[in-house]
Amino acid sequence: MRVQRKHVLAATVAVAASVVVSVGTGMGFAETAPAGRSVCAGSVTFSAEGGPPAATSDRFPVGTRLRVTNLDNRKVATVTVTGPSGSCVLLNAAAMDLVREPGKNVIRRNVVERLDGVAAPAPGGAQPGETRPGNAQPIGGSVCAGSITFSAEGGAPAATSGQFPVGTRLRVTNLDNGKVVTVAVTGPSGSCVLLNAAAMDAIREPGKNLVRRNTVQLLR
């Protein structure tokens, strides 16, 4: 009789456990992140580029397919890299619209997966046209390659970076209008330099969310 009671009790516990797992999964408590490891670090932002969902990158070659997941709302965008930029992944407007939360221009909690199965270049490896702090300046004097965009961060002019440590001072020049802003790096992002709203306002041209022709100088 005691053996039977033990079996009944064990079966009851197993059933209860399976119910808890099922309810948790249905309510979003389970599978809180994609299985894949992210190939980009930091926030994901976007440019004003039109067309179907796509992205640009300073790390992956043209034609690379990436899947970007917003961990805050579980929305996913699968994009193809169409050209270079100053970010690990910079979405265009259509791709951002697929994954953004209303009113937000930055995806802080994200996973970026490479879909073609090729390992990503090491985050610390220099890309063409880039340098790391302490290295010689590349031809043209800029320490970042590609377009510059911005986040919706407030406050005084500042920037985040996936290349330079907190406290680094950078001078960003918009070559189309000659405007210059000097910023300090305040934290990490997925870009060589990602300006905040005030810094972008200091150099942008009206209606443009991207500075294509630019020079970024490392101030010592």
Taking only the tens place, the pLDDT of each residue in 107-142 is 989 999 999 765 555 444 433 333 333 333 333 478
pLDDT in tens, 173-189: 998 888 999 999 998 87
**pLDDT value for 46:** 87
Alpha helices in 124-196 (DSSP H): none
- Residue 22 tokens read as 């099922």
Region class of 28: left (phi > 0), else alpha (psi between -120 and 50), else beta = left
Please return the burial class of 174, using the count of CB atoms within 10 Å of its CB with bins 0-12, 13-18 and 19+.
Answer: buried
- Residue 156 tokens read as 């005084």
* Contact status, residue 142 vs residue 217, Cβ threshold 8 Å: yes
Instruction: State the maximum Cα–Cα separation within the chain, in Å, rounded to a whole number.
Output: 89
Helix (H, G, I), strand (E, B) or coil at 129: coil
Q: Taking the mean position of all CA atoms in its chain, how far away is CA 201?
A: 21
All domains in the chain, ordered by first residue:
45-114 (2.40.40.10), 127-220 (2.40.40.10)
Evaluate the CA torsion angle 196, 197, 199, 205 in order and state its sign: positive
pLDDT in tens, 66-113: 999 999 999 999 999 988 887 889 899 899 999 999 888 889 899 999
Nearest to 195 by CA among 166, 40, 142, 203: 203
